[in-house]
A and B are shown apart, each in its own frame.
Chain A
Amino acid sequence: MRAISLELYKLRHKRLFLMAMLFFTVEIVWIFMAVNVSISRNSDYAGWEMLIAIISSMNGLFLPILAAICVSRICDMEHKGNTMKLLLTASARRSSLYAAKYITASIIMLVVCFLQGIAIIAFGIANGFEQPVPLNLLTRFLIGTVLTNMTIIAVQQWISMSVKNQVFALTLGMIGGFIGMAADLFPFEVRRFFVWSYYTGLSPVTQSYTSEKIQFMIQDMNSLLPAMVILVVAGIGIYLTGSIHVSRQEV
C-alpha cells in the first residue's frame, strides 16, 4: 500500500490523470458523434448494443496507446531521474516496486473504464433509448475491458522497465492500437494470439454485416469464459516474467 501511495505521490505534478482525461474525452466525443450519425441514418440502431459494440472496437485503438503512455510515464521517471539505485538502497524490493507501478497504472485505466460506463449510461438516457439500462451487459463490458487493460499493462510495463528508451514501448502501444482496431479483420485463430484484440473479443456485443446491414448480437457469457481464462493466464504469465526479468537486470 505504501509503495502504491508513493507512486501516486510521485505522479502528483505529472498531469497523468489530465492526459488520461484528454484521451477519454476525445474518444468518447468521437464515439458519440459516430453513434449519433448512425442513429440519424437508421433509428433501429438506437440501442445499448450498438453503443457498447462501437465503444469496444474504439477501445481497441485508444486504450492500448493510453496504457502505453501511462505505463511509460510511470516507469520512465525512474529512468530519467536515475532513481532506481536510490530506491533500492532505501531497501525497497524490486518486486514491490514493480507491483506498485503495475497497480498504479491499472488504477488509472480502471478510472477511465468506469468513466466510460458512466458516459454510456448518460448518453443512452439523454438519447431516450427505449430499453432500460443493461447493467448486466455493462458489467460484462467493463470486466472484459479491465482484464484486457491489465494484460496490456503487463506487456507495456515489461518493455518500459527493461528498455530505457521509451520509443520502443510507445511504438508497441501504437502497433497494439492498430491491431486492436483491425482485430476483427483477422481470423479467430490468428487474433487470439494478440492481447490487443480482446477488447472486441471479450465484448458482450458483437457486430456482423449481413446483406449490407449491421447486426448486433449479444454474446453468451459462457462462450466468453474460455477467452477470459486464457487472457488472465497470459496476463499473469507476462507479469511474472516481466517482474522476474526486471528484478534480475543490472541497475
Chain B
Amino acid sequence: MLRRCISAEWMKLRHSHIWVILIILPVISVLIGSANFYMNQGVLKREWYSLWSQVGLFYGEFFFPILIAILCAYMWRLEHFNKNWNMIMASPVSATGIFLAKFIVVGVMLLFVQILFFILYFLGGKLAGLTSNLPGELTGWLFRGWIAALAISALQLALSMRIRSFAVPIGIGLCSAFIGLGMYVANLGMFFPHSLLAIGMGVLSQTGISARESILFIVMNMLYIFVIAAGAIYSMSKADVRV
C-alpha cells in the first residue's frame, strides 16, 4: 500500500515544476557563496573549508530550511483544495501510508538537492582554482545535513498538514531557522531540528563532531522524526477534517 501511496505522490508532482525550485535555490547559494569566496581569497585561505563556510552558511542556515518548508507545504497543497481532504480520508489507505509516502518523497527530493549542492560546490571550487583534495568531512556534512533535513521535513509536513495556508508554515519555517541559529549559538543545538542542520552540515564550524556527538545527533533526529510523525499520523486519524 505504501508503494502505491508513494507512486500517487509522484504522480501529483508530475506537472508541478517543483524541480525548478529544487535546482534554483542551491544554484543561487553556491553562486553567491563562491563569488564571495573568490573575491575574498586573501582572507579566506583554507581553500575547500573556506568555500564550504561561504556556500554552506547561506544554504544551510536559510535556503535549505526554507526549501524544505516550501516542498512540504507543496506536498499538502492539493489536499487543502476543494473537498480533497474528504476524498483522501475516505480512500482505502491508512493515515500512516499517506504521511509516510509524503515523507519518503520529500526525503528523496532532498537527497537529490544535497547531491546537486555537492556537485555545485565542487564545480564552484574548481572554477575558483582550488587544486587541493576535497575535505574528508564532506560526505559526513552532506549525509548529516540530509538526516537533519528529514527531521525538519517531518516538522514542516506536520505543520503544513494542520495549517491550510500555504505561506504560514513557510513563515514559521523561516522563524524557526533563526531560533535554531540562536539555539546553536547558545550551545543548545542538539535540542532543535533547525540547529541540528547547522551542526550536521558544519556550516558555522568546520571542525568535525566526535563519535559520541554523532550518535547523539542521529538519535535526536530519529527521535524528532518518530515523535512528530507519530503525532501527525495520530492527529490525522483522530481529528475531523476541516474543509
A14 interfacial by beta-carbon distance below 8 Å: yes
* 19 further A-B pairs in the complex, CB-CB below 8 A; given A170-B166, A178-B62: A22-B172, A30-B178, A61-B62, A68-B167, A69-B167, A72-B166, A73-B168, A76-B165, A166-B167, A170-B167, A170-B170, A171-B24, A174-B25, A174-B70, A175-B24, A175-B28, A178-B32, A182-B32, A182-B58
Count of A interface residues, CB-CB < 8 Å: 31
- Which residues of B pack against A, CB within 8 Å? 16-18, 21, 24-25, 28-29, 32, 35-36, 58, 62-63, 66, 70, 73-74, 77, 80-81, 164-168, 170-172, 174-175, 178-179, 182
The answer on a CB contact under 8 Å between A19 and B25 is no
How far apart are the CA atoms of A166 and B76 in the complex, in Å?
13
7 smallest CB-CB distances across A and B, nearest first, come from A69-B167, A72-B167, A26-B175, A69-B171, A166-B166, A171-B21, A174-B66
How far apart are the CA atoms of A60 and B80 in the complex, in Å?
32
A138 interfacial by beta-carbon distance below 8 Å: no
How far apart are the CA atoms of A14 and B172 in the complex, in Å?
15
In the assembled complex, the CB of A84 is this many whole angstroms from the nearest CB of chain B, namely 15
A60-109 at interface with B (beta carbon < 8 Å) = 61, 65-66, 68-69, 72-73, 76, 80
14 chain-A/chain-B pairs, Cβ below 8 angstroms: A26-B178, A33-B182, A69-B168, A69-B170, A72-B166, A73-B168, A80-B80, A170-B167, A171-B21, A171-B70, A174-B70, A177-B62, A178-B32, A181-B62
How far apart are the CA atoms of A24 and B35 in the complex, in Å?
31
* SS of B interface (majority): helix
Query: What residues of chain B lie closer than 8 Å to A1, measured between beta carbons?
Result: none
In the assembled complex, the CB of A36 is this many whole angstroms from the nearest CB of chain B, namely 13
In the assembled complex, the CB of B16 is this many whole angstroms from the nearest CB of chain A, namely 7
* SS of A interface (majority): helix
How far apart are the CA atoms of A170 and B77 in the complex, in Å?
14
Query: What residues of chain A lie closer than 8 Å to B166, measured between beta carbons?
Result: 72, 76, 166-167, 170
The answer on a CB contact under 8 Å between A22 and B167 is no
The answer on a CB contact under 8 Å between B74 and A65 is no
